[in-house]
Structure 1
């Protein structure tokens, strides 16, 4: 039994060894096959690399040949450039020598063209003759010497501007009035002003349009436009702006009387109302005193006593008294005159009060305006004067209104006081005459 088992084990070992020997032979065979394939691939790659190396060598030789050719060409061009620069410098020196003072002349011509272009852009004449600056700008921007035609254009444009500046011309042109465009007969006064439809016009270079001013000057200037526009010959007065619009723009920005009053605010309106009331009352009292004085003068020359005037009522009181005693008559006259004096001096204290209160209200408006000004300064600083303009305007305008009301009221008060005092003096004189006549009897 043991022998059988030993034989079986020997058989299995020999079988396993034979199988393993076959696998190793197969592996060795596969390795040799792969080495042969890789060797062929490597030979192929080496051949390709050698061929590519020869090709790169040929390309390198061609590039070196091209580089050498370009270097030779660069040298030739550099030599030619130096030659051309020498020739150009020679020609420039020759041109400068031949031109002489013409260079300075052309520089002056370009400067004159620049100055003229700046004037033409804002000139009123350009509204009638547009597109005059194109040739001048071309002449200024050109680096070449000006041609004869360009110099003649400069001369002609300058002469045209000078000539048109001394003319009064009427022509049809499209103007813009409050946003609406319309055709109008425009009258141009040199290069200073243009008028149409009774209004002054402003020239806008951006749109080449004549535009009606947003605000026209005072009526005394506009009335001259109508007279001037309808004149066919001769000379007529007209307000012109020699600064070509600067003075006119400042003039139309000046506030009128109503705007000045509005700047005074509520205090200004109170001062004006007080002044109007004082003026009306003073005029009323002046008329009453004038009528009373006229009646008193008539009574002085009339023997018939009338009670429609103070003198007549005083005389009537003496006639009713039957006493011949001078002292009693004097008391009667004093009583009668005392009754008439308040009616003659009526309203003087009121007018004096108005004259005194008006400047005080102006001072109140001044203080209010300065308070508003300092509030603006504390909030926004002093960088923008326009923020302080309202307060300062109110301060100054109220002071001005207070003085404008107080000064005439003081004159009226003085006039009324003088009138009433003169009438009271008449009563005193007449009463003294009555006493002297009674005493003589």
Structure 2
């Protein structure tokens, strides 16, 4: 009587417990309390088995980690022991090395001082070899000397002998004229094998002219600008010589004088320094030279005709001044002496302007030249002071343009004036010489006419 109602009351609670338990909710609903109890027992056994598996896994992992920790501690202990042993060995080695170094220093004696001297000499020679153009022919010696100067070990006999040999070769090559083939950088910036003549360690040249040595590349390069041909030609000619004594250009400063020489401005560049005033001076000078050339040709032709006419005064020609003066006389030979003299003087005076033509202009150019040079000097100094006002006097190159203009225009003015003065004096003398011939011939005609009239009177 009581069992059925109790089962009815406990069944819903058992179903809730079975549904809440993991894995139990998946079973089918129990038909009876015994079956529910059996399912619950089975689920609990399965859970216990799973939990035990997890516990076993956790214990195995714990044991493995404990073993790893034990091994790591053992390894640490071994390494600490090894470190202590190595430290003790290092201290022992340091002590032994100090003792050995002291013993080595004691045994080296003077060799240690020699080692220092060798390093110093090798370093000095490495600098010499680096800057010497002989290294273009023997490029490996600078590397050897540099390596020997930086070496920490005692130099061997072979190294000492080679150092001595390289130093001796430098001295020998410094006094030798050598022709060899090496790479040269041309004006286009390209390397090419070229025959080079080296005058000791001072000057090198090829068929393109003087060369400059590039220490870093151990190569030669053609100078972008060459000096005058009188300096270049003798060295270029050496390429074809094999023996004997020959003229050559040598720079004892190893390129310093040559670099200054090639920087000297040429005539065209100096003219540019004169600016507008300089070009005007040259234009005036050119005009003066043209006029002087024309007058020289004209006076030479007139002088030749006058000299020819002077040899034959009986046949007067209208093509020269003397012939025209003689024609005045032969036109009316019976005129009185006073009238004849006036006519001849008039004829001579008519010839003077043609003979002295352009001479005043040439004289004026001779006088204007220095004045124009002075004008260029003043404008150049004005430009210099303007540059000083703007930039100060810290850099002399800033004032170079104005000073160059001032000096160059002065020189150009004098260069124009001095020849013009001499040319004017010469042409004026030629002209006066012809006028003097006309005066002499006119005076002779007057004397001859007076003698004839006196004979008639007598």
Same fold (TM over 0.5): yes
For the residues of structure 2 that align with 1:343 and 1:104, how far apart are their CA atoms? 96
Q: Is the aligned partner of 1:120 residue 2:120? A: no
Offset from partner CA, 1:362-389 (integer Å, 9 cap, x none):
1111111111111111111111111111
| Structure 2 residue runs without a partner (length 5+) | 1-79, 453-458
Shift of 1:90: 7.6
The 1:104–1:424 alpha-carbon spacing in structure 2 relative to 1, beyond 3 Å, is farther
Instruction: Give the aligned partner of residue 148 of structure 2.
Output: 139
Which residue of the other structure, out of 285, 290, 304, is the alignment partner of 2:315?
A: 304
Structure 1 residue 216: Cα displacement: 1.1
Deviations 1:187-215 (A, max 9, x none): 22221222223321111111222111111
SS in 2 for 1:132: helix
Q: Distance in 2 between matches of 1:88 and 1:192?
A: 47
Aligned to 1:289: 299
Residue among 219, 239, 246 paired with 1:236: 246
Normalization by structure 2: what TM-score?
0.74
Q: Aligned pairs, how many?
A: 364
What residue in structure 2 maps to residue 261 of structure 1?
271
**Structure 2 CA distance for aligned equivalents of residues 176 and 91 of structure 1:** 51
1:225 and 1:238 in contact (8 A); partners too = yes
SS at match of 1:233: coil
Corresponding residue for residue 47 of structure 1? none
Alignment check: 8 A CA contact 1:169 1:188 kept: yes
CA RMSD of aligned residues (A): 2.5
What residue number does 2:163 align with?
Answer: 154
Tell me how far apart the structure 1 counterparts of residues 115 and 419 of structure 2 sit (CA, whole Å).
69
Is residue 278 of structure 1 aligned with residue 276 of structure 2? no
| Of 416, 419, 439, the match for 2:430 | 419
Helix, strand or coil at the partner of 1:243: coil
Alignment of 1:9-408 (within 5 A): 92=105, 94-95=106-107, 98-99=109-110, 106-177=115-186, 178-302=188-312, 303-408=314-419
Q: What corresponds to 1:57 in structure 2?
A: none
- Provide structure 1 residue ranges, at least 5 long, that are not aligned to the other structure: 1-65
Q: Deviations over 1:35-55 (max 9, x none)?
A: xxxxxxxxxxxxxxxxxxxxx
Whole-angstrom CA distance in 2 between matches of 1:116 and 1:318: 97
8 Å CA contact retained: 1:135, 1:153? no
**1:198·1:225 contact (CA, 8 Å) conserved in 2?**
no
